[in-house]
Chains A and B, each alone.
Chain A
């Protein structure tokens, strides 16, 4: 397989000795509503040095959890998408506008948007996440208050925007004006933080498919975000997940929306180039 030889060897030894469950990602396929085909495994993008095949976190969950995504009526994340749909049409702010006033039907105007974010926005002169773009719309175009970066309102809106791109390949640009931030994100990905001295790569590149206690380590792909977690029964944003992971290394985290997490999101998103947009996904 693609693990480094030594890591793979210890994995095999452990499984053999324990006679325990095999923890490899499965080979199921995901088609939503019987029509949206989701690419959940594909050849890794060229820039990845240590992984040959990228996989959605969907493969690392149980059949029961996977099944929630097969039909929008079973996907609890879609309830929040519906809420955001109402907000899309709601007038807010001093300028008396709704999202729909400028962008009309979300399924037309936002189709493909999730797939290319984060991206360098020429007019702003910076790399932006969808959240930053939404808040820019709210404060400048609508004259409304910015939403809390990782609050429910904005995460639900990101889920709505993601949902209309489901099935389209993630295609985040890493060159040109985005390159410097991408490099920063890559450095952060490989930095061992906190008292446990763990990097993103330790778990999600070197050890995916293995178990940490009862947790099945995935590749940490974010193509399925926002993710509805059975654990907290709501949609979870990328930066909220980053914060939780860094915290769990016994480290001082970065703030959601910080330049560090924007850079990390750009880098991690690019590791999923070729996978389908899948959010809102359902995870443990």
Chain B
């Protein structure tokens, strides 16, 4: 933490402001599945989060979850629970932990881990069916996108 803090200060000085250091997937600290601190050091955008969640090419969360607030996008799946009221049921830290790696909260959850880059069986290059070098794996969502989704989810009350 101290190192991250120092780095954050350095980055802030270097960038002149705003840009805090992003927490890498391997450095995320989970406590009972929850992640207290923002992965970017800043708050996300709920509007962007809605886009991430309803876009097939990004998060595509509605593929498995029904969300009334996103009813403009068609065909919500029902493999996972509805996310209506998620902001009442979970704290922001819990929601961040679930989006980043739901398996830390729900053992053996079917939900993909959106902020994880290792521990996969036969990982591939996107949806090509071809393999990928472990070093080239990037998380399914960026730290910014995770924060945007969290910012949207806390509004679901």
Contact = CB atoms under 8 A, between A and B. Distances in A.
A269 B75 CA distance: 31
Contact of A14 (B56, B66, B112, B122): B66
Given A17-B84, A213-B63, A248-B127, A191 B76 contact: no
B75 A250 contact: no
B123 interface: yes
B58 interface: no
A107 B128 CA distance: 40
B82 A13 contact: yes
B131 interface: yes
A251 B74 contact: no
B78 A193 contact: no
Contact of A213 (B56, B122, B127, B129): B56
Interface stretch (A63-71, A136-144, A204-212): A204-212
Interface in A99-136: none
Interface residues of B, number: 35
Interface string B54-78: 0010001011111010000011111
Contacts of A210: 77-79
B137 A195 contact: yes
Contacts of A253: 124, 129
B66 A197 contact: no
A226 B100 CA distance: 39
Nearest to B126: A250
Contacts of B112: 195-198
B76 A20 contact: yes
Contacts of A10: 78, 80-81
Interface residues of A, number: 36
Contacts of A1: none
B82 A214 contact: no
A62 to B, nearest CB: 14
B82 A17 contact: yes
Contacts of B80: 10, 14
Q: Most chain-B CB neighbours within 10 Å: which of A197, A203, A217?
A: A197
Contacts of B64: 212
A210 B76 CA distance: 11
A141 to B, nearest CB: 33
B35 to A, nearest CB: 19
Contacts of A243: 129
A122 B90 CA distance: 59
Contacts of A217: 79
Nearest to A217: B79
A94 B121 CA distance: 45
Given A17-B68, A247-B129, A252-B131, A192 B121 contact: yes
Nearest to B137: A195
A28 to B, nearest CB: 22
5 contacts: A14-B82, A15-B78, A195-B123, A197-B112, A213-B77
Given A18-B78, A194-B122, 20 more contacts: A13-B82, A14-B65, A14-B66, A18-B66, A20-B76, A194-B124, A206-B110, A211-B76, A211-B77, A212-B79, A213-B62, A213-B77, A214-B75, A246-B122, A247-B129, A251-B120, A251-B122, A251-B129, A252-B122, A252-B131
Interface of A: 10-11, 13-15, 17-18, 20, 23, 191-198, 202-203, 206-207, 210-214, 217, 243, 246-253
Interface of B: 56, 60, 62-66, 68, 74-82, 84, 110, 112-113, 120-124, 126-132, 137, 140
